[in-house]
């Protein structure tokens, strides 16, 4: 029987069979894995485990076939060509590949179109995850470029007008998240791409919180690079993907070098393979790639339109569950505005960590802290928030339990007096 979002998808995930009483609302951090994904990785390890792209044995050929089929499955899910998907350790690693490649280009190691000079500008938003901020900080420091950012308001939301205000003819890169991991804001990607093209800037998209939840066509969106992680989309940890337009990947200097990336090596120099292999130095996480591919195939079969429809309903339920509780403040887009199925909130008079522990005692798993977005929280005037997030297997009952428990938090800690 085909799997559908909600209870059907939940039944396919062993975690919920082992933890029947848990309301798991932390999928934005790490999603649970279906049996199909676990089995794909385990079966490969049992039956087909071998080196890939090395040697001419039958075992190597079978392993390479499975490895590249997984790449193709991930590429299909996001509207990319097979050569446009590079394996990375995770999305953080993928974003660093771009920034470090641009640093090497700026040092004269190839890829002149990626070279930055003093006075050039890199633009981000104040809402970025540290993974999409720190690499650009360091690239600016290495090259003399200037880092600029679109500001957020008191709810943590940035605007296109704010972005336009910091983009100039010297802007060379605009890096931003498709979906904020704190506010759930869904960025107007096509509009940002248009702004970038007006000044000839590259666009780098953090798609960690969009690829698992929305139909994403990276070619159609027009971005130059994008990054996402398997462990947020039903897959294993230890692997992610960098998307890049093939002509850009073929010119970007590889951030890591060594075996499997080269065509010719002498004692003086090396020449590199075309993408994606030029970026995949050393032994790759082959079993994890198989799991990643299985997760992508499963999402494709279910249909991302169906996933998005399911999560739109959950987004509304999450917003209602948080907004109706006195003394609990929702951050991000106002109720009624579009957002992902993710809510962060502040409970007046109670620290986020205490909120999280209270909910955990009631078997409701959420995330607490600054969510690797300290500048965003600082701009909102808080040190931490509590975040609840949904996925394909989340059901309305879990959200109802969250709302019920939240109504008791302030009383438990004496903050309602």
Smallest CA-to-CA distance from 127 within 162, 98, 161, 151 is with: 151
Helix, strand, coil shares, percent, the chain, to 5: 45, 15, 40
**Element of type H or E holding 102:** helix 91-106
Catalytic residues: 372
Q: How far, in Å, CA of 136 to CA of 103, rounded?
A: 10
Answer yes or no: are the C-beta atoms of 167 and 201 closer than 8 Å. yes
Strands 202-206 and 171-177: parallel
What stretch of H or E contains 142?
helix 134-143
For the sheet containing 225-229, what is the strand order?
A: 85-88, 240-244, 225-229, 202-206, 171-177, 121-125, 146-150
Respond yes or no on whether the N-terminal peptide bond of residue 18 is cis (omega within 30° of 0).
no
E strand or H helix at 246, and its extent? Answer: helix 246-249
Distance, in Å, from the CA atom of 372 to the CA atom of 133, rounded to the nearest integer, reads 10
Beta bridge partner(s), residue 226: 205, 243
End-to-end CA distance of the chain: 53
- The dihedral over CA atoms of 230, 231, 232, 235, expressed in degrees to the nearest 10, equals 60
Largest CA distance in the chain: 75
Q: What are phi and psi of 56, to 5 degrees?
A: -130, 15
* Two structure tokens written together for 87: 């394996």
What are the distances in angstroms from CA 325 to CA 32, 39, 319, 321?
28, 42, 10, 7
User: How distant, in Å, are the alpha carbons of 139, 204, 263, 269, 325 from that of 86?
Assistant: 21, 15, 18, 24, 45
The DSSP code for 284 is: -
Residue 41 to residue 37: CA distance in whole angstroms: 6
Can you tell me the distance from the alpha carbon of 111 to that of 184, in angstroms, rounded to the nearest whole number?
35
């Amino acid at each position: 029987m085909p799997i559908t979002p909600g209870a059907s998808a939940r039944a396919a995930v062993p975690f919920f069979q082992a933890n029947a009483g848990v309301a798991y609302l932390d999928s934005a951090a790490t999603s649970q894995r279906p049996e199909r994904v676990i089995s794909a990785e385990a079966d490969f390890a049992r039956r087909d485990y071998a080196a890939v792209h090395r040697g001419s044995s039958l075992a190597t050929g079978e392993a390479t076939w499975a490895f590249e089929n997984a790449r193709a499955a991930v590429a299909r899910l996001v509207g990319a060509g097979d050569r446009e998907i590079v394996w990375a350790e995770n999305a953080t690693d993928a974003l660093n590949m771009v920034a470090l490649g641009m640093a090497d280009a700026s040092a004269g190691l190839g890829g002149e179109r990626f070279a930055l000079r003093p006075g050039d500008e890199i633009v981000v938003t104040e809402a970025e995850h540290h993974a999409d901020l720190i690499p650009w900080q360091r690239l600016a420091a290495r090259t003399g470029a200037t880092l600029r950012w679109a500001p957020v308001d008191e709810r943590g939301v940035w605007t296109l007008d704010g972005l336009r205000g910091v983009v100039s003819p010297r802007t060379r890169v605009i890096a931003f998240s498709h979906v904020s991991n704190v506010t759930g804001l869904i960025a107007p990607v096509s509009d940002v791409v248009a702004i970038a093209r007006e000044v000839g800037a590259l666009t780098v998209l953090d798609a960690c919180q969009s690829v698992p939840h929305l139909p994403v066509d990276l070619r159609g969106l027009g971005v130059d690079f994008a990054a996402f992680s398997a462990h947020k989309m039903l897959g294993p940890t230890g692997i992610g993907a960098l998307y890049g337009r093939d002509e850009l990947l073929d010119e970007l200097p590889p951030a890591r070098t060594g075996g499997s990336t080269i065509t010719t090596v002498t004692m003086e120099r090396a020449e590199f393979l075309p993408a994606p292999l030029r970026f995949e130095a050393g032994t790759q996480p082959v079993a994890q790639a198989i799991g990643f591919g299985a997760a992508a195939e499963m999402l494709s079969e279910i249909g991302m339109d169906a996933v998005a429809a399911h999560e739109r309903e959950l987004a509304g339920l999450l917003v209602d569950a948080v907004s109706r509780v006195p003394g609990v403040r929702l951050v991000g887009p106002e109720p009624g505005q579009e957002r992902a199925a993710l809510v962060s909130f502040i409970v007046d008079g109670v620290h986020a960590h205490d909120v999280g522990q209270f909910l955990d005692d009631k078997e409701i798993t959420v995330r607490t802290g600054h969510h690797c977005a300290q500048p965003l929280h600082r701009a909102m005037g808080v040190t931490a928030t509590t975040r609840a997030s949904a996925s394909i297997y989340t059901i309305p009952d879990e959200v109802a339990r969250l709302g019920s428990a939240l109504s008791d938090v302030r009383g438990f800690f004496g903050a309602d007096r």
